[in-house]
Structures are given as structure tokens and as C-alpha cells.
């Protein structure tokens, strides 16, 4: 049996490291920093961990609806979404994730914008971890 994405990311500790790194990158990213100014970054990180744990097949860590509520009112342009993807991919590379895992997580990021069904990722989308594009 194949391991779920959650296990391949390093379970709770691996997911937390990826999210922590990605949110730190978002905070200093010229396209994303202004969106995060004045927000509670530890809370955003906790919600990000909950989202990635649930989306990757790990145990549920939040009540249903918590993540969509956290993103309420946040509208991302295509350039901002590309910046999010680049930051997440860079964080995953830094944490030692493979190309298949990066592609699966990128699919989850697209799901937040309504571009893919949200749920446990099941396969790679062929993402090149050295780029910000899927």
C-alpha cells in the first residue's frame, strides 16, 4: 500500500515545517507581504497546518469550515497565486520534499482558488520544483 501524502511529507512535524517556512516566505514576498500585514501569522500558520494535514490525508485538526473562513475575503490574483505556489514549492524543496509531493501540494493550493477538487491528493501533476509553475 502506498503511503499517504501526509506520511510522505513527514507527518505532523514535516507539515508544520513546510507551512512555517512557506508563511515566512509569503510575509517577505513583494506580492504577498501586504496581504499578510496586520494578520496573526501564528494563527495563519496553524490554519495552514490544519489545511495541509487534512488535504494530505492526515488526521483532521480543525472544525469543518475553519479554513474557508480563514480565507474569506481574500482574493488572489493570478500573479499572487503564482507567488504562493513559488513560496510553497521553495519551502518544500528546503524541507527535502520530492517533485511528486510538491506537485500534489500545488494541486491543493489550486483547490483553494477553486481550480481543482479539494481532498487528499492522489497523484503527481508533474511539477518542476525549480519553477513557480505547475
Question: Would you say residue 60 lies in a domain?
Answer: yes
What are 14-67's pLDDT values in tens digits?
999 999 999 999 999 999 999 999 999 999 999 999 989 999 999 876 554 444
Please state, in angstroms and rounded to a whole number, the distance separating the CA atoms of residues 127 and 134. Answer: 5
Q: Is residue 125 part of a domain?
A: no
Q: What is the CATH number of the domain that holds 71?
A: 1.10.490.10
Structure confidence by residue, pLDDT tens digits, 66-105: 445 445 455 678 899 999 999 999 999 999 999 999 999 9
Is residue 50 included in any domain, yes or no? yes
In a domain, 134, yes or no: no
pTM for the model stands at 0.77
Q: Is residue 39 part of a domain?
A: yes
Please give the residue range of the domain that contains residue 65.
5-112
User: Looking at the 3D structure of the chain, how many domains does it have?
Assistant: 1
Q: Within a domain: residue 120? A: no
The answer to whether residue 132 is domain-embedded is no
Amino acid at each position: 500500500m502506498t503511503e499517504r501524502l501526509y506520511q510522505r511529507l513527514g507527518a505532523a512535524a514535516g507539515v508544520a515545517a513546510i507551512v512555517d517556512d512557506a508563511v515566512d516566505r509569503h510575509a517577505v514576498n513583494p506580492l504577498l507581504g501586504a496581504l499578510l500585514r496586520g494578520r496573526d501569522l501564528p494563527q495563519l500558520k496553524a490554519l495552514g497546518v490544519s489545511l495541509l494535514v487534512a488535504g494530505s490525508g492526515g488526521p483532521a485538526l480543525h472544525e469543518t469550515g475553519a479554513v474557508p473562513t480563514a480565507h474569506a475575503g481574500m482574493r488572489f490574483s493570478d500573479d499572487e497565486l503564482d507567488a504562493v505556489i513559488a513560496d510553497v514549492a521553495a519551502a518544500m524543496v528546503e524541507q527535502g520534499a520530492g517533485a511528486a509531493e510538491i506537485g500534489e501540494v500545488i494541486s491543493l493550493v489550486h483547490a483553494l482558488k477553486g481550480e481543482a477538487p479539494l481532498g487528499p491528493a492522489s497523484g503527481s501533476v508533474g511539477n518542476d520544483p525549480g519553477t513557480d509553475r505547475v
